[in-house]
Amino acid sequence: MKMKLATVALGAAVAASPALADLTFTALSYRTGPYAANGIPFADGYADYFTLLNERDGGIGGEMIELIECETGYNTEKGVECYESTKGSGALVYQPLSTGITYQLIPKATADEIPVHSMGYGRTSAKNGEVFNYIFNYPANYWDGASVAIKYLLNENGGSLEGKKIALVYHNSAYGKEPIRTLEELSAKHGYELITLPVDHPGQEQKSQWLQIRRDKPDYTLMWGWGVMNQVAIQEAVNIRYPMENFIGIWWSGSENDVLPAGEGANGYKALTFHNVGSDYPVFDDIQQYVVDAGKAAGAGDQIGTALYNRGLYAAMLAAEAAKTAQEMHGTSTLTPQQMRDGMENLEITEAKMTDLGLPGFGPEFSVSCQNHGGDGYAAVAQWDAAAGEWSLITDYMQADLDVLSPLIEEDSAAFAAEAGIEPGCAM
């Protein structure tokens, strides 16, 4: 009898403990709190892609995927708690989904030798992989975004922005201030006047900023906003009759959530993006069949194809491809975080690969290396069609002005290395 009990207890313990042979991914998500409307679609997309790989392909390289989701509420302290409580689970990579959490995790994850992927957010100079060995921010960062916005405006104006006025409405935080240095450098290069207009958190009251825009009449307005700031800014722009086609947001100001409250008035608003929009891709048919219809969708299944769902799905796809690369490199199906890092550092996304994955033309082609953890800095411009209720890409992917950005990244990462006592070099 005792033997039987011991066997049952052992069996239960084995069943309850994490399956160490699985590939464990973590999602520091926020499905609650003031930013839940944005956190839910991203988390759904991230989870659904891994579920698809498990259900359709039996995981990655024969290893099933275990996704550990930890609720941060978009709170930096909770995010760090999530990291500390899950890092012992064999997590291969962290997607912090917050610039604040990313900044906190940079020293911790580097010390623990666990890679972090801050896709389109976080510390821009983490692009320098020789300083930030375990931090990746491919395929594009905030400075790439600022540069691509200016490049787009150059294209719209026959290659010259001489004498133009460009306003930047930004969240008055480290995140919102990220593009200023880049835009100043580009202003010196292209001869436009930059007007900066900070908006305090959370951004529900922006009358002063938009009265100033009405007075100064900038030719174009860029926005680095988040949460309620985006919706209010777009509504205020509509109120003062600012031409929406001249109003361009960063990718965190370009979801359906941001434009729907302003209704028809938001028609023509533009936003940058580093991945495609909509659900007209073969992979979504598979998600419907293997995930949604099977009752395994992460959420209510009503976010599929939205801008942020697609971003979550794209992040999961990049993580899965990095894991495949790591498996090939090391000749093993099970991975350690260090091997995953190697996979991320040797990741190459080609059009042929995306087509095979059911995502033709979904994102730019790019490659990662020891020196370059940020990809090639490509982004495109999407425009909102209020009548159809959908975004559509109106440009090809454009590369950021690396002549301007590379020295800035070098300078910032060198300062970090000096401060943190890091001797730059490749980890492999």
Residues near other proteins (CB under 8 A) are 31-37, 40, 172, 196-202, 204-205, 207-209, 211, 214-215, 227-228, 231-232, 235, 238-241, 257, 260-261, 263, 265, 295, 300, 302
Q: How far is the CB of 228 from other proteins (least distance, A)?
A: 4
Closest to other proteins by CB, 36 or 68 = 36
Q: How far is the CB of 215 from other proteins (least distance, A)?
A: 6
Task: Tell the residue number behind the tokens 């490199």, with chain if given.
Answer: 329
Closest to other proteins by CB, 32 or 406 = 32
Query: Do 372 and 395 touch, CB atoms closer than 8 A?
Result: no
| CA dihedral over 415, 417, 423, 424, signed as positive or negative | negative
Query: Do 123 and 102 touch, CB atoms closer than 8 A?
Result: yes
Q: How far is the CB of 377 from other proteins (least distance, A)?
A: 29
Cβ neighbours of residue 205 closer than 8 Å, sequence gap 6 or more: 232
Closest to other proteins by CB, 59 or 227 = 227
**H helix intervals, 260-401:** 282-286, 307-330, 337-345, 351-356
Q: Which of 272, 25, 302, 6 is nearest to 140 (CA)?
A: 272
Rounded Cα–Cα distance for residues 171 and 34 (Å):
16
Rounded Cα–Cα distance for residues 362 and 424 (Å):
34
Q: How far is the CB of 220 from other proteins (least distance, A)?
A: 19
CA angle 36, 38, 44 (to 5 degrees): 90
Rounded Cα–Cα distance for residues 389 and 45 (Å):
20
Concatenating the DSSP letter of every residue in 156-200 gives: HTTT--TT-EEEEEEESSHHHHHHHHHHHHHHHHH-PEEEEEEE-
Q: How far is the CB of 426 from other proteins (least distance, A)?
A: 40
Task: Tell the residue number behind the tokens 């600022």, with chain if given.
Answer: 146
Q: How far is the CB of 200 from other proteins (least distance, A)?
A: 4
Question: Which pairing describes strands 65-71 and 23-29: parallel, antiparallel, or unpaired?
Answer: parallel
Rounded Cα–Cα distance for residues 183 and 166 (Å):
9
Closest to other proteins by CB, 90 or 227 = 227
Closest to other proteins by CB, 73 or 358 = 73
Q: How far is the CB of 106 from other proteins (least distance, A)?
A: 26
Q: How far is the CB of 170 from other proteins (least distance, A)?
A: 9
Query: Do 52 and 287 touch, CB atoms closer than 8 A?
Result: yes
Closest to other proteins by CB, 37 or 67 = 37
Closest to other proteins by CB, 98 or 372 = 98
Q: How far is the CB of 323 from other proteins (least distance, A)?
A: 31
Closest to other proteins by CB, 84 or 205 = 205
CA–centroid distance for 349 within its chain? 16
Closest to other proteins by CB, 18 or 265 = 265
